[in-house]
Amino acid sequence: MTVFTPSSLRRRLVAVLLVGPLALGGAAHAAEIIVSAAASLTDAFKEIAAAFEQSQPRTKLTLNFGASGQLLQQIVAGAPVDVFAPADLETMDRAAKQAVIMDESRVVFARNELVVAVPATSLLVLNRLADVMGPEVKRIAIGNPDSVPAGKYARDVLTTARLWPDVQERLVFTQNVRQALDYVARGEVDAAFVYRTDAIAAVNRAKIAFVTKTETPVLYPAAVVKGSRNAAGATAFVKFLRTEGAQRILERYGFGRP
């Protein structure tokens, strides 16, 4: 199993565009499956990938994690991706409208919750959304709403609560939800909008202050990318996400069943 950073995937894309498929050499063999997934899936997908590779000994998974919107941009630009797994249905809908996924392969495999987290040592008492406007809350981290689903969910709930205009001067925008988590875990911000699973991953460094109620459920879809060089393997991985074994792994990391 290989884990890409967004920059390394961009370099790989440049190689494809400038030199062609042969530039990837043996790494592009038929058994490789490249998965671009939301940053919030990082820990769970590493374990799921290991389980899938064990069940498919001749298959190699390469994982690329990042903000869902940025991952979609990479796919639209021609990045060599076989499976796309964003953190929201809206981003997958955009992928479908841009005709970069195989619609018939699309499944929903997990759910999550948006929470407000604070540093583990914080003495702040935050029980509801209006509390983030208290004078003691000076900096709040959220993912960039234009590319990070967690940030969009946060903007939506703050807008519904009529807090968005006033809270903006306190916001610190991040490239993905895990960066927002890192900021709050290190105490660089007073609070952060992240997923429940992220807060669980940062146990002893961050804690959940309260769960926010989103109008749209936080659901995770996956689909095979059109033009995949290993469509059969990609289809097998997408189906694997709904198996009992994969679902149990997701539950261990705090995800709910779809």
> Rounded to an integer, what distance in angstroms lies between the CA atom of residue 64 and that of residue 66?
7
What is the number of domains present in the chain?
2
Give this prediction's pTM. Answer: 0.84
Asked if residue 131 and residue 82 are part of one domain, the reply reads: no
Question: Quick one: average pLDDT of 180-201?
Answer: 96
Instruction: Give the CATH number for residue 237.
Output: 3.40.190.10
Asked if residue 136 and residue 85 are part of one domain, the reply reads: no
Asked if residue 119 and residue 107 are part of one domain, the reply reads: no
Asked if residue 121 and residue 197 are part of one domain, the reply reads: yes
* Residue 203 confidence (pLDDT): 87
Asked if residue 36 and residue 97 are part of one domain, the reply reads: yes
Question: Quick one: average pLDDT of 183-208?
Answer: 95
Asked if residue 130 and residue 77 are part of one domain, the reply reads: no
Asked if residue 83 and residue 22 are part of one domain, the reply reads: yes
* Domain that includes residue 232, residue range: 2-111+219-252
Torsion of CA 139, 143, 145, 148, to 10 degrees: -170
* Residue 25 confidence (pLDDT): 42
Asked if residue 168 and residue 84 are part of one domain, the reply reads: no
Count CB neighbours of 15 within 10 A.
Answer: 16
